[in-house]
Amino acid sequence: MFKEFFQFELRTRLRQPMVYIFIIVNFLLIYSASVSDSIQVGQDMGNVNVNSPFALMMYPAWMTFISLLMVTAFMNTSALRDYSVKYDQILFSTPLSKWGYLGGRFSGAVLSATLPAIGIYLGIFLASYSGWWVDADQVGPFYLGA
């Protein structure tokens, strides 16, 4: 039961454009903040390299404030979908487990809500390889472990 609700939630989310729009928004925010001195997310990085471990830590930390609104959008529709289309009475009249229903829905929504964080790391990664836009002194060596 858990698996079916989990897969349904993920399939539903990945068919909607909201996930992809949030990935693009996160990517554009972090990429532009990494390659430009006039745009910043959170605090000014100063003389820190674009792809330093400090930047890899600070950008996602500051983006949690924006991502909180994104997570709310995912969790809200997941929690209210059955009630808004009046499917709750039919669903709850069937013998389904509480753990399977709530756990599957919640886990699928959490996983789909964490997908936009890919845009943050993709923005940092691609900004370090934008040699034509970023000053070479701002880019350090790329360490996958960081």
Structural domain spans, the chain: 2-42+49-131
Rounded-to-integer distance, Cα 115 and Cα 37, Å:
27
Q: At what angle do helices 18-35 and 53-84 cross, to 10 degrees?
A: 160
Average pLDDT over residues 121-133: 79
Report the percentage of the chain scoring pLDDT > 90: 10
Whether the predicted pLDDT of 34 surpasses 70: yes
pLDDT at 132: 67
DSSP 8-state code for residue 136: G
Mean pLDDT of the chain: 80
User: In whole angstroms, what is the distance from residue 21 CA to residue 119 CA?
Assistant: 10
pTM of the shown model? 0.78
- For 107, the token pair is 């886990």
- pLDDT score for 130: 75
For Cα atoms 75, 80, 82, give the angle at the middle one, nearest 5 degrees.
125
- Span 20-32, mean pLDDT? 91
Residue 27 has pLDDT above 90, yes or no: yes
